[in-house]
Structure 1
Amino acid sequence: MTIADEKKALICFIANLLKDCRHVAVGASSPIPGAAALLGKAAWNAPSHVNILGSTQHNFFTNGSVELFDCAAQGRIDAFFLGGGEIDGQANINLMGMGDYPNNAPRWPGTFGSAYLYYLVPKVILFREEHTRRVLVDKVNFISSPGTSEDNIYRTGGPYGLLTNKAFFRFDREARKFRLQSIHPSSSLEDILDNTGFEFDYSKDTPITPAPDAGLLNILETEVREKVREVYPQFAESVFAPTA
């Protein structure tokens, strides 16, 4: 499987995770989640509303991130995506950098509204293609956004799962830990155990992630590709074959 094929498989996988969503918002630097939201809308109109920050055609917000935050507070966003330079076993994410804050080295882009959205959006999917112990750590250096909160803290949102280029984990909010749900065909249980820095629950019989449906891939390659190109042109150039 080529790198482009792996990315298409991730897009199809995420699209299936969004079938129960009505409104999905995506950040400006999230081409795979953005493509997945557009694919879900095209394939089965779920989500029926997609907002991709930075897009002119697929973004009905008129006030940018301010309106995004307002919608989240009103309970009008069903799913959002977060990543991080580090993600730990309690679904905490680090977007600040390594070392002691505020003198982080290296310094990453920063938290922006991630903590706010993590508390309010009911289905936050953590997505990071790289699956290494450098990224998936036992404990993050800095908590930009906590994965869990005490019972007396008002919180309607939180982590649904973690998707990487090797596997998909669901997050158990009661146990406050991840459980391995499926292993991508290019990986193995041994590979995942070797490259994950936090402890997680798993079964020795964890299933292999199903291959993407051919019909869904066809919709991605035909109807959705130009929509993706509008907001993520470099990504589209690297993933989709040139048009005739």
Structure 2
Amino acid sequence: MTNIVDDKKALICLIANLLRDCNHVAVGAASPIPGAAALLAKATWGTPRFVNILGSVDNNFFTGGGGELFDCAAQGRIDAFFLGGGQIDGQANINLMGRGDYPNCSPRWPGTFGSAYLYFLIPKVILFREEHTRRTLVEKVDFISAPGLSDEKTYRKGGPFGLLTSKAFFHFDKEKKRFRLVSIHPSSSLEDILDNTGFSFDYSEETPLTSPPDPALLEVLNREVRGKVAEVYPNFADTIFPVTSNAGHDT
């Protein structure tokens, strides 16, 4: 359990650092690690100034739900958002519909909702998928719910910034139209990533390890952010902030 908790906290801290240059970050209702990261960045650096987590009461100033989120995105008032997918391919396409030929997908997933719309409008879209296997990171998605790239005639100010998994962080190079491996998490290796990634990507044999989280950042997460996380993601908070023998004290 300790390693799982530490790994999740490391992901939260890594994402928080990616959000420091943002003013407004929006997070979906089922994204506890990105949500915790946005709250951590705000608590630590004051940026992003605004964090909206759908489903939260305390950390969501939207009153119109998803409709207001879409309006803000169209107005250019959201700097970062997170998307996942049952499948993600090397051109940053995501599949939220299901495996196999549509409409006879098996299994069927929840659907695309507004993913394509937001992907086109929000400048920094971080693809986040903890599972890093050839089942999820594929050469070509079975169905494109939201495309990573568009032709030059298509107006598009938004798109993929990078891909974060439980094994590594990739940056998306829009000119080369492919991912580049930036860092490898300490629990993984280059060989492991090559074996478990279904698409090709650029990398160096000397790709560095992902830096460990700053102890000061972890301190803020454990002391100041834990209550905010618990408000919207109570089960997740129980996992990463387990009750200890010091329960009742501010630990």
Task: Return the alpha-carbon distance in structure 1 between the equivalents of residues 57 and 25 of structure 2.
Answer: 16
Task: Return the alpha-carbon distance in structure 2 between the equivalents of residues 150 and 170 of structure 1.
Answer: 20
Task: Return the alpha-carbon distance in structure 2 between the equivalents of residues 203 and 188 of structure 1.
Answer: 12
Q: SS of the counterpart of 1:99?
A: coil
The one-letter code matched in structure 2 to 1:168 is F
Query: Any stretches of 5+ residues in structure 1 without a counterpart?
Result: none
Superposition deviation, residue 99 in structure 1: 1.1
1:229-240 equivalent positions in 2, closer than 5 A: 229-240=230-241
2:213 counterpart residue number? 212
Deviations 1:41-65 (A, max 9, x none): 0000111100000000000001000
Structure 1: 4+ residue segments shifted above 4 A? none
1:49-198 equivalent positions in 2, closer than 5 A: 49-198=50-199
The one-letter code matched in structure 2 to 1:3 is I
Task: Return the alpha-carbon distance in structure 2 between the equivalents of residues 238 and 15 of structure 1.
Answer: 19
Superposition deviation, residue 67 in structure 1: 0.4
Cα RMSD after superposing both structures: 0.6
TM-score normalised to the size of structure 2?
A: 0.96
1:202 counterpart residue number? 203
Query: Any stretches of 5+ residues in structure 2 without a counterpart?
Result: none
Task: Return the alpha-carbon distance in structure 2 between the equivalents of residues 5 and 97 of structure 1.
Answer: 31
2:228 counterpart residue number? 227
Q: How many residues align?
A: 244
Task: Return the alpha-carbon distance in structure 2 between the equivalents of residues 22 and 206 of structure 1.
Answer: 30
Superposition deviation, residue 104 in structure 1: 1.0
Q: SS of the counterpart of 1:2?
A: helix
How many percent identity over aligned positions? 73
Task: Return the alpha-carbon distance in structure 2 between the equivalents of residues 74 and 174 of structure 1.
Answer: 26
TM-score normalised to the size of structure 1?
A: 0.99
Deviations 1:120-177 (A, max 9, x none): 0000000000000000000000000000000010000000000000000000011110
Task: Return the alpha-carbon distance in structure 1 between the equivalents of residues 210 and 120 of structure 2.
Answer: 29
Deviations 1:75-129 (A, max 9, x none): 0000000000000000000000011111211000100000000000000000000
Q: SS of the counterpart of 2:211?
A: coil
